[in-house]
A and B are shown apart, each in its own frame.
Chain A
Amino acid sequence: MIKGIWVEGPVKKGVLDFLNGLLAEKKIKAVLMPAKNKGGDSYAWFLMGKDRLLESADPVPPVMTTQGANVVSYLTKKGPVWEKTAVLLRPCEYRAVIELAKIKQVDLTNLVLISFDCPGAYPLEKYVNGDPEELDESFEVCLGGVVELDGPRNVCAICHRFTGTGADIEIGLMGGEGKGFWLVPGSKQGEELLDGAVGSESDNIDVREKAISDRTIARETKRNNTLDSFQETVMGPENLLNTLSACINCHNCSRVCPICFCRECYFDSKALSSEADNMLQRAQRKSGLRLPPDLLLFHLGRMSHMSVSCVSCGACEDACPANVPVSMLFALAGRNTQAVFDYEPGRRLDEAIPHTVFKFEELKDFETPYIKEYSKV
């Protein structure tokens, strides 16, 4: 397999040229990727391919409006696409796509997954309330992987899986210093598509690998430290409920979560509705009942359902109207629950979700041993 193709020149234009080339050669029939919206103050996803890509298409957008995995799921939930379609995804979106493929909410047939070395993203609120042009500019500077993004989302600042490892084609930005990028094949399919791409056979790709491993090490430390100190602020009922005190129980975090795919969420179901007298009893036991009820149950329960698959994409926090640090809570929960099974969501398609496979001997730590002698009665 070739290691990569170096494409010199501006990054975004180069990527669009490459995709337009694939479209023109009919190697792919459509592209699903973000593009600037009409008003220029946000982004949306577009399925393109009638002729060329939209002028406003942006392979590396500075915000995540809708999680890409949700979009891929909309497209393929009812069946595979019949024509080869390239999808441009952030690494976290790519990982969520893989997780969704495992639970059959995405059909990967005929999809070409393309990801990139992600510089992070701005909080959605900051982008739509701020000056988009200014933010676009300072985002552009970070594409080369030299400068860290200024004021990214909490969860982006501690992201240690910022490359699209495993995707059919990776767009290598790290180490390119903004002068260009590498097209790195990650699969047979990717390699075929790169055949004939404009660019030079790469002999300098080590630079990228070095830059990635440096940042990965730095980010892993930062992630663990940040999550550890965050954990201190949410430990115990008092701290945890303090953190959740702003929550209004709107469940928007679960609606935008790519992993929360259930059409009817348990926490919106009749299972949690009860009669007035029952609620009065609860209020009596707890000397008061916060309405709407079951707020802590929702968060902890949702964690128990999906935190092993949480890809730390931060969509939940972007969507939270009350500025609860949801994505940090879930990153923390996910780190710990995933560690139990040595599982990393989205790492490999053939790695089963922990809830679906079992071993005869495992998890002894979570059972309480019976040490008493079995005496005859």
Chain B
Amino acid sequence: MDEKKEFTPSIIYGLCSWCGTGGSETAGAMHLQYADNIRPFRVPCTGAIDPVYILRALIEGADGFAVSGCHPGDCHFDSGNYRARRRIAVLKSLLDTFGLDSERVLLRWVGHGEGKRFADTVNEFNDYIKEMKKNPLAERRDT
């Protein structure tokens, strides 16, 4: 087996309680297969995800971090997803500034009924991170 195949990225997937999680449930109901190495975690709203959580995951060993919540206009709390988008925009431009692979962070809205979109997102991101190889920050002891 070559090295690339052996690498199973660890990916954290932040899902909001309303749409993101719903999308994953729909994917399950539709019996869609998606990569099993993602670790979903549920937050009340994507607006509750502080960039620090993402940074902490990336520094402590995650190879990628995806965030999915309600489409613009659909947020259960009216504007939490807009907040998430702004925060992730800040985070991604910071990561870009310091050459730390902003592609390891993915933001894509997934509605409750969009099971296919959820499964596709997982697989697409998983493949992408596989290409990117291991996150170098995760292996540095001087962080």
Contact = CB atoms under 8 A, between A and B. Distances in A.
B99 A297 contact: no
Nearest to B82: A358
B86 A363 contact: yes
Nearest to A272: B56
B17 interface: no
Contacts of A35: none
A369 B121 CA distance: 10
A296 B142 CA distance: 8
Given A336-B97, A359-B82, A367-B109, A290 B141 contact: yes
A195 B9 CA distance: 69
Interface residues of B, number: 49
Given A375-B116, A377-B30, A240 B87 contact: no
A66 interface: no
A334 to B, nearest CB: 10
Contacts of B73: 360
Contacts of B83: 355, 358
Count chain A CB atoms within 10 A of each CB in B52, B87, B88, B109 and give the residue with the most. Answer: B52
A374 B117 contact: yes
A359 B138 CA distance: 35
A354 B98 contact: no
A282 interface: yes
Interface in B59-80: 59-61, 72-73, 79
A304 B60 contact: no
Interface in B24-75: 30, 32, 50-52, 55-56, 59-61, 72-73
A260 interface: no
Interface in A224-244: 231, 234-237, 239-241, 244
A266 B138 CA distance: 22
Count chain A CB atoms within 10 A of each CB in B88, B89, B125, B138 and give the residue with the most. Answer: B89
Contact of A370 (B30, B91, B121, B136): B121
A81 interface: no
Count chain A CB atoms within 10 A of each CB in B73, B138, B141 and give the residue with the most. Answer: B141
Interface in A71-117: none
Contact of A240 (B82, B99, B139): B99
Contacts of A235: 98-99
Nearest to A242: B142
Given A237-B136, A362-B85, A289 B93 contact: no
A367 B107 contact: yes
A285 B140 contact: no
B88 to A, nearest CB: 6
B140 A237 contact: yes
B106 interface: yes
Interface of A: 231, 234-237, 239-241, 244-245, 266, 282-283, 285-290, 294-297, 300-301, 303-305, 307-308, 332-333, 336-337, 339-341, 354-355, 358-363, 365-370, 372, 374-375, 377
Given A368-B125, A375-B116, 19 more contacts: A235-B99, A240-B98, A240-B99, A241-B142, A282-B60, A283-B141, A286-B143, A289-B141, A290-B143, A295-B143, A296-B137, A301-B55, A304-B55, A305-B51, A333-B98, A341-B86, A369-B108, A370-B120, A377-B30
